[in-house]
Amino acid sequence: MLYQQIARNKRKTYVVFAIFFALLGLIGWVVGKLFFNNALSGIVIALAITLFYAFTIYFQSTSVVMQMNRAQPIKNVEQAPDLWHIVEDLSLVAHVPQPDIYIIDDPSPNAFATGRDPQHAAVAVTSGLYQLMDREELEGVLGHEISHIRNYDIRVSTISVALSSAIIFISSMLGNMYRWGWLFGGGGNNDRDNSRNGNILQIVLYIVGLLFAIIGPIIATIVRLAISRNREYLADASGVELTRNPQGLINALKKLEQVTQPMQHVDDASAALYITDPQKGKHSLQQLFDTHPPLADRIQRLERM
């Protein structure tokens, strides 16, 4: 089961790439037709921006994601001895290289893992989590996160963050170009045939372009939903396998369930990486687009173990 999930996560990487490069190509086609009267130009621009984001975040995922979330590295064991030793021990049990360790100065308890593979991985915990959890509970949380590393969940997550960031940027750019094109007559479409069919096509393109500009953040959320909820259940089970102590993670999740304080600074593109919703349902439609199963369901599954 575990190794099948790892293989599925690796294949999912390429599926996510293919689907969303195609989607971004479509957005680029609309941009090209609207503002350059050349679909190919828009496609090239959209894919170039996406490639830049994808390769930058993929090959520098740890530093980029940590900067996005204002995390600071733990460089030696003296800075956080309990945290350091727990990560060191669990990495040995999981047979993965010890990931880099980061602290986020935030009172809301949370944690996440990131990286492109186990050889280039990192874990981060908030200062609130480090202070709230006892050693047993901290082991449960870190076992969960190191399981994400061992299961290659972090690769899919990293690519989702990259594509999400690219879509948000392109949507913002499209919105600005739309306003500019509307004011200045379509940005290069002045020579378009004024026939009825040409006018209808232009109106349709403007509507589609406006829709893409508006729903870009929603599309970005759908990218994050490419990360299956099942990976959280799997990481919970895998984490218990590492610690041999389900009660540690159960107690940790129960404490997290009681927290209502959102994190102070959360990057939207990487919010899905955290062990629990860092925004604490700030959005009215949060549950509709939630990438994590409810904590109560996760606790029940662990209690049955």
Candidate list 78, 136, 137, 145, residue with the active-site label: 145
Alpha-carbon span 147 to 232, nearest angstrom: 10
- Provide the pLDDT confidence category of residue 187 given band limits of 50, 70 and 90: very low
- Assess whether 136 carries a catalytic annotation: no
By CB atoms closer than 10 A (0-12, 13-18, 19+), residue 225 is middle
% of the chain exceeding 70 in pLDDT: 76
Residues in the chain: 305
Sheet with 111-115, strands from edge to edge, namely: 71-73, 100-104, 121-126, 111-115
Residue 94: the pLDDT is: 95
Average pLDDT over residues 275-294: 67
Whole-model pTM?
Answer: 0.75
pLDDT of residue 144 exceeding 60, the answer is yes
- Provide the pLDDT confidence category of residue 10 given band limits of 50, 70 and 90: low
What is the tens place of the pLDDT at every residue in 209-257?
677 667 766 766 666 665 666 778 889 989 999 999 999 999 999 999 9
What is the tens place of the pLDDT at every residue in 77-125?
999 999 999 999 999 999 999 999 999 999 999 999 999 899 999 999 9
